[in-house]
Amino acid sequence: MRALFDLPAAYRPSDDDRAAPVPPVEAVLCDFSNTLFRMIGTEEWLRRVAADTGRELGDPGAVLAALDVAAAEPEVAAAQVGRDLDADAHRRAMRAWFSRVPYLAGIEDAAQARVVAEDSWVPYGDTGSFLAALAERGVPVGVVSDIGWDIRSHARTAGLDGLVGTWVLSCEEGTEKPDPALFRTACERLGADPRRTLMVGDNPVRDGGAVTAGLRAFVLAGEQRERERGLRDVLALVSPRG
């Protein structure tokens, strides 16, 4: 059966699937940035760059303003397209941005190194308990992230890497969300049925694209958070596997 207003999708359920009850959620995929982990505050990042380079920071507020101005420049914005497809593309994108900020000009590589440093990304306050609760229920977990470097090191530093069964990263797969291939790949590696899998993220376009691969999606509020991210709400949607 096909409905007149069906949305284009990479996954087509069978007639039996359409007629049956919606299956329970038995596996979870998560975005990384602004979902499970966040980068340290920008002022703290600048202080660490200053410590690494010996360059006097002065007024952090002025540097923050310059970062915002530079990010809006057409050339800088264009350089960000595809930055998460591989590590070199990410470095080039950061250099293009940081070179337009007077304080960072000449130390672009040091600034980019601090973006990807192991201790520059920290889990939200509820990330550990969320992942542990899923593990206790026997629910497999994967991370699907548009990212320009290997983020497993951040999870290892936080002691959470053992709670994630697979990592599907744009810089390793050569494509970005919402490409349905990323979500399907994560499900295959977990041995999970996409129709029984929930994607959790903060971007309705990129993470919500999981629905075209047959998954369901839970989109967190877009507001910036420092402590809990609201992940406990997801647990109410998940059934113990088996």
Q: Which one-letter DSSP state was computed for residue 238?
A: B
Average pLDDT rounded to a whole number, residues 215-226: 89
Task: Give the pLDDT confidence score for residue 102 in this predicted structure.
Answer: 96
Using CB atoms within 10 Å of the CB of residue 137, give its burial: 0 to 12 exposed, 13 to 18 middle, 19+ buried: middle
Task: Give the pLDDT confidence score for residue 3 in this predicted structure.
Answer: 56
Average pLDDT rounded to a whole number, residues 192-213: 96
| Residue 102: both structure tokens together | 């007077």
Average pLDDT rounded to a whole number, residues 116-137: 97
Mean pLDDT of the chain: 93
| Structure confidence at residue 217 as a pLDDT band (50, 70, 90) | very high
Task: Give the pLDDT confidence score for residue 9 in this predicted structure.
Answer: 64
Between the alpha carbon of residue 115 and those of residues 46, 137, 147, 151, 221, the distances in Å are: 10, 34, 12, 11, 24
Residue 241 has pLDDT above 70, yes or no: no
Question: Which residue type, as a one-letter code, is found at position 219?
Answer: V
Average pLDDT rounded to a whole number, residues 219-224: 87
> What does pTM read for this prediction?
0.91
Which residue bears the tokens 């899998």? Answer: 197
Q: Which of 21-30, 118-127, 156-165 has the lowest mean pLDDT?
A: 21-30
> What share of the chain in percent tops pLDDT 90?
86
Question: Do 128 and 160 meet the contact criterion of CB atoms below 8 Å apart?
Answer: yes
Determine the Cα–Cα distance for residues 174 and 172; give it in Å rounded to an integer. 6
3-state DSSP of 11-44: CCCCHHHHHCCCCCECEEEECCECCCEEECCHHH
Between the alpha carbon of residue 8 and those of residues 5, 181, 186, 193, the distances in Å are: 9, 15, 21, 20
Task: Give the pLDDT confidence score for residue 18 in this predicted structure.
Answer: 72
Residue 16, number of CB atoms within 10 A of its CB: 7
- Residues near 103 by beta carbon (within 8 Å), at least 6 away in sequence: 46, 55, 57, 58, 62, 63, 66
Residue 2 has pLDDT above 60, yes or no: no
pLDDT tens, position by position, 160-197: 999 999 999 999 999 999 999 999 999 999 999 999 99
Residue 173, number of CB atoms within 10 A of its CB: 16
- Residues near 134 by beta carbon (within 8 Å), at least 6 away in sequence: 28, 141, 163, 235, 238
Nearest to 202 by CA among 183, 184, 223: 223
Task: Give the pLDDT confidence score for residue 175 in this predicted structure.
Answer: 96
Question: Do 102 and 123 meet the contact criterion of CB atoms below 8 Å apart?
Answer: no
Handedness of CA 175, 134, 156, 230 (dihedral sign): positive
| Residue 242: both structure tokens together | 């088996």
pLDDT tens, position by position, 35-90: 999 999 999 999 999 999 999 999 999 999 999 999 999 999 999 999 999 999 99
- Residues near 137 by beta carbon (within 8 Å), at least 6 away in sequence: 238, 239, 240, 241
